[in-house]
Chain A
Amino acid sequence: MKRSGLKVLALVTVMMLLSVVSFGCTSNTAATTAAATTKSTAGGGKTIAFSLKTITNDDFQKAIADSIQSAVEASGNTFELVTAGDQTNVANQVKQLEDLIAKKVDAIILSPMDANAVIPVLKKAKEAKIPVILVDQTIEAGNEDLYVTYIGTDNFNAGKEAGTKVAEWLSNAGNVMIVRGANGSSAGDQRVDGFKAGIEGTGIKIIGEQAGDWKNDKAMQVTENMLQSNSDVQAIFTASEVMVDGILQALAGAGKTDVKIMAVDGSKKAVDLIEAGDLTGTMAQFPQIMGKTAVDTILGVLDGSIDASKVDKYIDSGTSAYSKDNLADAKKTAF
């Protein structure tokens, strides 16, 4: 058994390595838009990597990635995309960051999946003198020395403004349901906390709160069930537009046509829904601003024209409430 075990192992390693080599070669020569490492012929020659959770079924994160990519390539440098996966695979993002450091990228733009988990690896990046900029989500306070700046939406404020807007819509009285994001998501949690702060002191009551897990079918199921508990609801707040389709179906199924919905993100899809009257409003984020600002800043740091220590630690990429009232503007800035 020992003998054949060794044989097995050898064969296994050979096959695996041959596969890696063959796929590695083909992926390097494939010049498709899906290939992450795009070699540019113009000058620059720096590699800037963007690490985040996923761009699947997430227009917002995709928009950040796209804006970073165009800004990087426009400057004649190389863009590399690393996503950790669709599960909440926090350790995977850390692994990928370690690998980025090992292959000596010139700069890292990062949307951390967890505020604490990336701190050890960012310390390593600092030792390796690789500048880091955070977008969309930040890390635990007290570690400001580990990044140049954090550019993002103030999620708590966005949630608070959403709360205020909903209170306006309902003239300060009514029942609201909340469909949260996935457990453990700080952006999602902050938006909901902000929303609750925004409706404080008004006559708005929260009659149901469940996690939609950023998924349409889960959001639909929990909304259907919440409506069973109490169908007297005037508005629904959800932590992201990715769950709106499911919520709409749940409401349609229950015959509730007059429920106002407030979401967060600000995508073109949402603006279309607002125009059609399905979605009442959404708190926009500005991924294009996040991406462009991040790239401009990091390029400046790399070529010395910007002093990293002089940059503001937090740059608010802003938020705005889209609704039927400002559709024309919304269409211009939606992603």
Chain B
Amino acid sequence: MSVSTKTINRTSSVNQFFRRFVKNNGAIVIFVIIFGFALLFVKNFASAQNMLIIIKQSAVPVIACIGMTMVLMTGGIDLSFGYNIGFTSIVAGLLIKTMGAPVWLGILAALTAGAAIGLGNGILVDKVNVPAFITTLGTGYIVLGAAQIVSKGNTINKLPKNFLAVGQTPVGVFNTTILIAIAVAVIFYIILQRSTYGRALSAFGYNKRASFVSGVATSKIHISVYVISGFMAAMTGILLTIRVNCAQPDLGGGDYTFQIITAAIIGGASLFGGKGTIVGSVFGVLIIKVIENCINLAGVQYFLFQAVLGIVILFAIVFESIKNKKL
């Protein structure tokens, strides 16, 4: 009697662990499935070099996704993200190449600009109470216009080598951009999981009113995530500029914003606030980049790209929902 109950208990706790893992880490599960699929069926996928390419292509979006996830966790959204990227790209490019300023100054200016835009967003959303969707849509257009005005519509290419070195210096098989992405992920993981700020953020996301009533400085937290998002957009702008060796006012853009949001949500961030993890963000980005990589490798016709990408992501979402319901 006692032997059989022991056996039952053990298997059900393994079962429980498995179910909990899948439920909380849907992104990792989806990634494993898609990765496995690609290994088996896509030619030229399974090479160390290809893996490296995917990691290189994912590094910057991971940084962006983490910023967006923070905002999503508060139940908000940042539609100015993509345009912020273009603006900070031009700020950096103008200062460093056109005006010959030292690299660190250009980077500092760009980061400050991005954070300032985020601050503007945060104040409008928290103090003036304009819904985040509309606020960030409006600031997005303003920032886009500003980027075009400042750059006069021009791009700045062939950037100075010491600027490019910030992102392109090889480190083993990786490069500095990848290291920066890893550092950002680790730092934010610690912030979200281990600090009071992180806990307060989660609480705020789940229940704004309860948070407020229990004395948490909700305004500060609310505004801070938009500042972070703006800062991350600036980092994305700088690193993307380095990656393509061209500062352009239309870098990123509206499409980029939606791609990042999609990645964040596949990664498990909830649009209603509260849920969001760094691990989820990372894998959300990896999933999309792996899919895009496979579509290119398979030589799919250029006009089929979007439909195929959309359908695969749709399957991923359906899978997540069914899983959430059943588990």
Contacts and interface: CB of A to CB of B under 8 A. Distances in A.
Question: Are chains A and B touching directly in their complex (CB below 8 angstroms)?
Answer: yes
Interface of A: 34, 54-59, 62, 86-87, 180, 183, 208-211, 215-217, 220-222, 224-226, 228-230, 242, 245-246, 248-249, 253, 269, 272
B302 interface: yes
Most buried by B among A55, A220, A229: A229
B325 to A, nearest CB: 35
Given A34-B149, A224-B53, A225-B53, 5 more contacts: A56-B148, A226-B296, A228-B296, A229-B296, A246-B246
B303 to A, nearest CB: 6
Interface in B186-212: none
Contacts of A34: 149, 152
Contact of A86 (B43, B152, B250, B296): B250
Contacts of B49: 228
Contacts, number: 88
A210 B305 contact: yes
A163 to B, nearest CB: 18
B299 A208 contact: yes
Contact of A221 (B57, B249, B297): B57
A211 to B, nearest CB: 4
Given A59-B154, A221-B292, A224-B53, A209 B248 contact: no
A272 B152 CA distance: 21
Contacts of A226: 296
Contacts of B249: 56-57
Contacts of A225: 53, 292-293, 296-297
Contacts of A215: 250
A228 B244 contact: no
23 contacts: A55-B153, A56-B148, A57-B155, A57-B249, A62-B153, A62-B154, A86-B250, A215-B250, A217-B240, A217-B244, A217-B251, A221-B57, A222-B296, A224-B57, A228-B44, A228-B296, A228-B297, A229-B296, A229-B299, A245-B244, A245-B246, A248-B245, A249-B244
B230 interface: no
